[in-house]
Amino acid sequence: MKVPLVKINREKFLRKELIKYFPEDIVNLSIEKNPAFAGVERERVNKIATHIINFESNKVTAISAAAGIPGGAAMAATIPADLTQYFSFNKRSFAGALVF
């Protein structure tokens, strides 16, 4: 999926998410190679990915709800922005889920 101006920095993403659960040496090896090579179990990666996806989905839902509050004619103007932010947030989530 390509969304203009939305790019995921793999190193920053992995460091931010994995440092919460693993020591720095495992995080560094996960970035250099991949989480499986660093000894991170698939089930653990799936749990972390699910947590990230749920968090980002909740954030997108809240933004979408806020964008829809004006209603009427204003709603037509918010649809392109709403779709862009939806795919932007979900691209980040799904990219993180597929790093294994």
Domain assignments of the chain as residue spans, ordered by start: 10-97
> What pLDDT, on the 0 to 100 scale, is given for residue 24?
96
Tokens 């989905």 — which residue? 57
Tell me the DSSP string of 43-100: HHHHHHHHHHHHHHHHHHHHHHHHHHSS-HHHHHHHHHHHHHHHHHHHHHHHHHHT--
One-letter amino acid for residue 91 of the chain:
K
Q: What is the pLDDT of residue 71?
A: 65
Q: What is the pLDDT of residue 9?
A: 87
Contacts of 12 (CB under 8 A, 6+ apart): none
Q: How far apart, in whole angstroms, are the C-alpha atoms of residue 86 and residue 61? A: 8
CA-based diameter of the chain, in Å? 53
Confidence at residue 37, expressed as pLDDT on a 0 to 100 scale: 94
Yes or no: say if 67 and 3 are a contact pair by the CB < 8 Å rule. Answer: no
pLDDT in tens, the chain (100 residues): 566 777 788 899 999 999 999 999 999 999 999 999 999 999 999 999 999 988 988 888 887 777 667 666 666 666 777 777 777 766 655 555 445 4
